[in-house]
Amino acid sequence: MKKLIGAFAAGAMLLALAGCAPAATGSGDAAAAGPKAESDLVVGFAQVGAESGWRTANTKDIQDSFKEAGIQLKFSDAQQKQENQIKAIRSYIQQKVDVIAFSPVVETGWDAVLNEAKDAGIPVVLTDRAVDSSDDSLYVTFLGSDFVLEGQKAGEWVLEEYKDQTEPVKIIQLEGTTGAAPAIDRAEGFAEAIKSDPKFEVVASQTGDFTRAGGKQVTEALLKANPGVNLIYAHNDDMGLGAIEAIEAAGLVPGKDIKIVTVDAVKDGMQALADGKINFIVECSPLLGKQLIEVVKQINNGETPEKRIVTEETTFTQEQAIEALPTRQY
């Protein structure tokens, strides 16, 4: 009997060494089987939706990057609903993908499904937005912008723009999706930056859900309720573009009667900046595809990626937008 078991073990070892071992299915046997051929890797990506120009650019960059890398991508669009993202993640777990990546539409409510991925031995990468969880073992890496810094940059521009003004500056804030990391953090960073000068007053703050239609609707209502507004701070270009429509419908001149500062720097926003309808944009890069591929390769090779990878980004004035537009990638 012992001889039989010995022969079986030797045979299994030979099979494994000859690469005939069952391909790693992401179910925790990756280490045992060693790195897979990159063309055999399968990544499940649960995207937020298609709510803004930024999101469209982000989706395109991720899909193009995976195609270029020759790594298989399963992709889902959650139409900005958390329950759809959770469903997609569960489906990727069932399919035993090698890595799950997603941009959490809101910060909370992920622990249960991320524990299911952990129990299935499937590593999770957060791209773009963070989760608010006490257990950071639930994800390998968070790859995305520093949204608090983005809000601070917007606030610092406001401080400079109005430094010689003594009378009050009335501000409307167009918030991103309620509960989303960029909305929470951009509001925090902006408030932090302007709190030093009491002439600034945020007279109203409401979510436009990161969409152009939402930005227009909320601006129409808030302008009616708050006469004499000087500035609109929008958490993304799309809501800022909606605000432009509302300001013009009210017979006012955007960029002059009411100044606008936004975040993202997507092409439509940069065009409005170059045209003088927006006054300043803080960039938030959607081009996360290549960095995500690098993280996937590190995981496949048994390496440990950085826990937090912050994307590089800048800011644009009207003059800088005119210069940058011709070669703008998104």
Would you tell me which residues interact with ligand GZL (CB under 6 A)? 51-52, 54-55, 128-129, 144-145, 182, 210, 236, 238, 263-264, 284
Burial of 128 (0-12, 13-18, 19+ CB in 10 A): buried
The Cα 187–Cα 78 span in angstroms is 25
Q: How far is the CB of 21 from ligand GZL (least distance, A)?
A: 40
Q: How far is the CB of 118 from ligand GZL (least distance, A)?
A: 24
Is residue 236 a contact partner of residue 176, using CB atoms and an 8 Å limit?
A: yes
Nearer to ligand GZL, 153 or 170 (CB): 153
The Cα 275–Cα 297 span in angstroms is 42
Q: How far is the CB of 81 from ligand GZL (least distance, A)?
A: 14
Is residue 218 a contact partner of residue 173, using CB atoms and an 8 Å limit?
A: no
Strand partners, 125: 101, 141
Is residue 219 a contact partner of residue 174, using CB atoms and an 8 Å limit?
A: yes
Q: Which residues contact 134 (CB under 8 A, 6 or more apart)?
A: none
Q: How far is the CB of 145 from ligand GZL (least distance, A)?
A: 5
* Count of residues in the chain: 330
The Cα 4–Cα 12 span in angstroms is 12
Q: How far is the CB of 128 from ligand GZL (least distance, A)?
A: 5
Q: How far is the CB of 281 from ligand GZL (least distance, A)?
A: 11
Residue 293 corresponds to which tokens in the numbers above? 């591929």
Q: How far is the CB of 325 from ligand GZL (least distance, A)?
A: 18
The Cα 191–Cα 188 span in angstroms is 5
Q: Which residue is nearest to ligand GZL (CB)?
A: 54
Angle at CA 9, nearest 5°, toward 7 and 15?
A: 100
Nearer to ligand GZL, 215 or 254 (CB): 215
Nearer to ligand GZL, 270 or 284 (CB): 284
Dihedral angle at the C-alpha atoms of 99, 104, 105, 106, nearest 10 degrees? 160
Q: How far is the CB of 106 from ligand GZL (least distance, A)?
A: 11
Residue 169 corresponds to which tokens in the numbers above? 């500056």
The Cα 85–Cα 166 span in angstroms is 48
Question: Closest by alpha carbon to 239, among 201, 278, 288?
Answer: 278
The Cα 213–Cα 94 span in angstroms is 37
